[in-house]
């Protein structure tokens, strides 16, 4: 396996050579390699978890925060899920060679448009060691070689996972260089990887705005940005409030440190007097800090005044008996723009679905947006008016995930429109070519 011992250029050139062999492999060979990777992950679990614990220790010492530690952490259950995802990818239909379109031209030429691998895909990612395997499995199944560049926070985990995946794949008949890891280094190494136009066909970064800006400044290789997710849930005037509460809590608290977690809740003014106090109480009980606009603050204050104070028998009980609005802070302009990746939620009141759509258009990142409503016209207007990769009606934004969408896994979620949007799976890692067959045809 290529590592930091090899230069970035040499690693990418080796991947290019491997990609030519991968493009010609039968589905059965690729599937056998994926099964070998899954089995190796299970057999060498102790090795992987030991490496991950080294990264976790460093992360705790550096106080990187609970959200990043959660992304970084591996355990037996998560490792089993990663191996299961590899097997799910193996079970999917092979996109390579898939007929997209075909016809015979009036001049007798037969034209077929078929799906083919991109070639070499480089994935740059932060903190999430599961991406090492998810990305490798998706690339290999779609006939691509992969060059991985993880962050220093997951250095030991990524090194163990990439080595295990590479060794298993090569032993199963895939070419040397099909899975490579570029480890260590800094922005200079990133810039070198982003300019390997002769050997790398696509870069997919998974990280924050800093990583995105660093690549935008230097990249000559095409990039699909798996960017941040400033996601919204809008509770319409006709929403089922019990359903709305469950969806909001799931979208915010089920796993707050991921890109498809909700960061802003918008509530229609007609239902706000009933729903805002209710959802504030539920969010506070779940440990969520609410940052509300003026109308949210007023509704929370009205609710606290209407609720008799509890008799406190101790200082702790006295503190707990503070009004529900104690955890409602005033929202500023920056709150509508922020991807918290934590147990914090911005909440605002709007006067119509149109205002909600306008708010999302101004502040949303194009990732995942949801409306809770029983009005089919409002749902349709939201679907047509919101410009995002995934638009939900009466469902949590947490479903934006390649695994949930039946893709086995994903490399990331694209908020772009060319050439992939939403979860990046097997077909998104392919391009196409035209196969044209004739019988001595020449153009007049």
CATH number at residue 158: 3.40.605.10
Rounded to an integer, what distance in angstroms lies between the CA atom of residue 187 and that of residue 96?
Answer: 34
**Average of per-residue pLDDT values in the chain:** 91
210-222 burial: b if 16+ Cβ within 10 Å, else e: ebbebbeeebebe
Domain co-membership, 96 together with 174? yes
| Closest C-alpha to 183, from 166, 208, 199 | 166
Domain co-membership, 245 together with 111? no
Domain co-membership, 202 together with 267? no
Residue by residue, DSSP assigns 322-355 as S-GGGGEEE--HHHHH----SSEEEEEEESSHHH
Average pLDDT over residues 164-192: 91
How is residue 176 written in tokens?
């040397």
Within a domain: 165:
yes
Domain co-membership, 300 together with 317? yes
Domain co-membership, 295 together with 325? yes
Within a domain: 321:
yes
Predicted TM-score of the model (pTM): 0.86
Rounded to an integer, what distance in angstroms lies between the CA atom of residue 241 and that of residue 390?
Answer: 23
CATH code, domain carrying 264: 3.40.309.10
Domain co-membership, 308 together with 324? yes
Domain co-membership, 155 together with 203? yes
Confidence of residue 1 (pLDDT cuts 50, 70, 90): very low
Distances (CA, A) of 135 to 141, 206, 289, 360: 10, 11, 34, 30
Within a domain: 406:
no
Residues 127 and 153 sit within 8 Å (Cβ to Cβ)? yes
Within a domain: 1:
no
Please give the pLDDT value at position 306.
55
Confidence of residue 325 (pLDDT cuts 50, 70, 90): very low
Rounded to an integer, what distance in angstroms lies between the CA atom of residue 243 and that of residue 92?
Answer: 33
Domain co-membership, 236 together with 301? yes
Domain co-membership, 222 together with 247? no
Within a domain: 106:
yes
Provide the domain count of the chain: 2
Within a domain: 115:
yes
Please give the pLDDT value at position 326.
56
Domain co-membership, 181 together with 204? yes
**Is the pLDDT at 248 greater than 90, yes or no?**
yes
For residue range 281-293, list pLDDT tens digits in order. 999 999 999 999 9
Residues 353 and 78 sit within 8 Å (Cβ to Cβ)? no
How is residue 224 written in tokens?
């699909």
Average pLDDT over residues 208-236: 90
Please give the pLDDT value at position 305.
59
Please give the pLDDT value at position 208.
76
Domain co-membership, 201 together with 334? no
Average pLDDT over residues 308-323: 38
Strands 145-149 and 120-125 come out as parallel
**Is the pLDDT at 217 greater than 80, yes or no?**
yes
Q: 243 by DSSP, 3-state: which?
A: helix
**Is the pLDDT at 317 greater than 80, yes or no?**
no
Within a domain: 405:
no
Average pLDDT over residues 359-368: 97
The whole domain housing 49 covers 8-226+411-437
Domain co-membership, 213 together with 235? no
Please give the pLDDT value at position 304.
62
Within a domain: 189:
yes
């Amino acid at each position: 396996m290529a590592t930091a011992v090899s230069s970035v250029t040499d690693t990418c050139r080796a991947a290019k050579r491997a990609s030519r062999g991968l493009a010609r492999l039968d589905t059965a060979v690729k599937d056998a390699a994926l099964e070998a990777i899954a089995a190796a992950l299970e057999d060498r679990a102790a090795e992987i978890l030991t490496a991950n614990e080294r990264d976790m220790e460093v992360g705790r010492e550096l106080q990187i925060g609970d959200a990043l530690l959660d992304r970084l952490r591996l355990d037996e259950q998560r490792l089993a899920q990663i191996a299961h995802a590899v097997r799910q990818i193996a079970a999917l239909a092979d996109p390579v060679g898939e007929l997209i379109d075909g016809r015979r031209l009036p001049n007798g030429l037969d034209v077929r448009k078929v799906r083919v691998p991109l070639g070499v895909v480089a994935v740059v990612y932060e903190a999430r060691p599961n991406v090492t395997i998810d990305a490798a499995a998706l690339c290999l199944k779609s006939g691509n070689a992969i060059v991985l560049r993880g962050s220093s926070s997951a250095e030991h985990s990524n090194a163990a996972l990439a080595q295990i995946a590479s060794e298993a794949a090569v032993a199963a008949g895939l070419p040397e260089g099909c899975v490579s890891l570029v480890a260590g280094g800094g922005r200079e190494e990133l810039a070198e990887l982003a300019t390997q136009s002769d050997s790398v066909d696509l870069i997919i970064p998974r990280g924050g705005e800093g990583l995105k800006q660093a690549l935008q400044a230097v990249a000559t290789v095409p990039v699909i940005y798996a960017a941040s997710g400033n996601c919204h849930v809008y509770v319409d005037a006709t929403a089922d409030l019990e359903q709305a509460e469950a969806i909001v809590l799931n979208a915010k608290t089920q796993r707050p440190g991921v890109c498809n977690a909700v960061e802003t809740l918008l509530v229609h003014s007609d239902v706000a007097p009933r729903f805002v106090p209710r959802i504030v109480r539920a969010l506070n009980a779940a440990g969520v800090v609410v940052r509300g606009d003026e109308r949210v603050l007023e509704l929370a204050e009205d609710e606290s005044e209407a609720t008799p104070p509890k008799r406190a028998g101790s200082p702790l009980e006295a503190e707990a008996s503070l009004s529900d609005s104690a955890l409602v802070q005033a929202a500023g302009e920056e709150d509508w723009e922020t991807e918290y990746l934590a147990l914090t939620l911005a909440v605002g009141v709007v006067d119509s679905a149109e205002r909600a759509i306008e708010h999302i258009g101004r502040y949303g990142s194009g990732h995942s947006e949801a409306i809770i409503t029983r009005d089919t016209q409002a749902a349709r207007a939201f679907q047509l008016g919101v410009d995002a990769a995934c638009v939900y009606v009466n469902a949590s934004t947490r479903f934006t995930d390649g695994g949930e969408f039946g893709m086995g896994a994903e490399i990331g979620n694209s908020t772009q429109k060319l050439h992939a949007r939403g979860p990046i799976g097997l077909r998104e890692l392919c391009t196409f070519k035209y196969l044209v067959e004739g019988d001595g045809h020449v153009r007049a």
